[in-house]
Structure 1
Amino acid sequence: MFSLKKIALSALLAVSAVAGAEAKDWSTIRIGVEAAYPPFNFIDSAQQIQGFDVDIAKAVCEKLKANCTFVAQDWDGIIPALQAGKFDAIFSSMTITDERKKVVDFSRAYYNTPSAFIAPKASALKDVSPEALKGKTLGAQSSTIQSSYLEANYPGFDMKLYPSQDEVNLDIVAGRIDALFVDKVVGMDWLKTADGACCEVVGPDIPIGSGIGAAVRKEDTDLRDAISTAINEIKADGTYDKINAKYFPFSIWMN
């Protein structure tokens, strides 16, 4: 007859065996990136995926001692592609929201920036309240916190949503929209270009969401936690600040 201790030990070994069988090997991690949202993620002249998100992901992978590969993915399909197993994590300036947390898990936030309206300088637009913008056509990238904000706060407005931020920018230059709504840092980066010289930030900064995090599948809680720990480590050892300074003259870290 087995003793209670032997029975308990057998049960523990059985549970351990199951857990071990289900544990995933994260020595290789595939990372999804939109690669069309400079300066956070973009394709450079050598056709390589670059940007702040990418550098942060590489630093995280170094802490995890993981071999990471990057996969370009259109924004509208980036969460479905994660869930389908095309990659294991998203490092692509994805804002942490309650709606997204219903379908994916997030690491701790690794940056936070406000959103802002941009309009042509010739419009002399200053007030961005719904009353002041009544009758205006507004634009934003689809499936973003900016598009959700416009839909919630500017109901009934003529609104155009686009697959990429580049397309939003092109339409404001062409005069097909009166104002666009975008992450302020992304917008400011575009204003420095020849096309962006047409326009300016108008109105106040508008904070939305709970910062930007890396997204993973709901079941991959071990990867989520490992990424969060690595983000804290690169901040503590100064790596994060060096990457931040490469792209911005101010800190975008979210405490």
Structure 2
Amino acid sequence: MMPRDLFQRLSSAGLLAALLQAPVWAENSDIMQVSIGMEKNRAPYTYLDKQQQAQGILVEAITELCKKIPMTCTFSVDHFDTLVGKMHTYQLQGFVVIDTFIYPELDNLKLTAPLCTLQPVLVQLAAEKPRLTPDDFKNTTIGVRAGSLLHLYLLDQYSSVARIRTYQLSEEGIFDLTSKRINALFVDDAFFNQQVKNTVLGTTDSAAQLVSYPVTDVELPPTNMRLALRGNDTTLLNTFNKILQDKSPPNCADLLKSPIMPTPSQPVAQQ
């Protein structure tokens, strides 16, 4: 056990934080171990499978990234706000930011280059006339995941003509859309392709078939589909970015085509 006087000297000198932040090395190995936090029910990006193992296209992308460095990346799950807190207490070296609004400077965080690019889409009933512009949505209701960058975009561009209904999970909005409680759901194409198009709701045989319409020229803050690291962990940031910036990030939906990408059996509907 560390003597009390040594503990106090380390704390006052700011060395304790440095020790806590230091990477973990596997026993008898030269491979660094990094703990990455993620949300557990954000399919297809991050989720837990039936065996409670981390899965998702961003989990796969980060795992492949870590192999190239090389380092061993392990994943732990929690609520988004808790992940931010665990960064401050040095329980994590990083966490996955999908599309939740975040202000990195306020939390002393730095974000890597994007793992993939998000393409927003408006999901609607195939049997109804497509609505493609804000004017088309006058006196209608659009659903979106609460606190997401897409939520902020709707508030800015559509709230003057349409009602905005928010959900903790986008899957909840799918239910309301098929029940005609809302007129459209604002998501991204990777979510639609995996969680809707890949189900009975994406087939022409379904009376409640859903289709998506791309929303172009959407300017979102550059804080989505990235890894968040501590602001002073520049070595780890540069290590990740050196590989990520070698080529343009793929569309997130294209990552679904990866042969190593498993298919979630059912979306998790609770936080």
Cα displacement (A) at 1:196: 4.4
**Matching of residue 37 in structure 1 with residue 42 in structure 2:** yes
Quick one: which of 211, 226, 235 aligns to 2:239?
226
Counterpart for residue 117 of structure 1:
122
Structure 2 gap ranges (5+): 1-12, 24-31, 204-208, 259-271
Counterpart for residue 22 of structure 2:
25
Q: Deviations over 1:18-72 (max 9, x none)?
A: 8998374223211112232333222223321112111121122223443322112
Q: For residues 80 and 71 of structure 1, do their structure 2 counterparts lie closer, same or farther at Cα, with a shift above 3 Å needed?
A: same
Structure 1 gap ranges (5+): 1-16, 250-255
Identical pairs, percent:
20
Counterpart for residue 95 of structure 2:
90
For the residues of structure 2 that align with 1:212 and 1:92, how far apart are their CA atoms? 6
Q: How does 1:154-173 map to 2 (within 5 A)?
A: 154-156=158-160, 157-173=162-178
Counterpart for residue 193 of structure 1:
199
Cα displacement (A) at 1:98: 8.4
Q: Deviations over 1:92-131 (max 9, x none)?
A: 5348x8844543311112211311111111222232x222
More moved, 198-207 vs 75-84: 75-84
Give the TM-score taking structure 2 as reference length. Answer: 0.69
Q: CA RMSD in A?
A: 3.3
Q: How does 1:3-18 map to 2 (within 5 A)?
A: none
For the residues of structure 1 that align with 2:80 and 2:17, how far apart are their CA atoms? 33
Number of aligned positions between the proteins: 226
Larger % of helix: which?
Answer: 1
Secondary structure class of the residue paired with 2:166: strand
Conservation of the 8 A alpha-carbon contact between 2:141 and 2:164: yes
For the residues of structure 2 that align with 1:160 and 1:76, how far apart are their CA atoms? 22
Quick one: which of 133, 137, 144 aligns to 1:140?
144
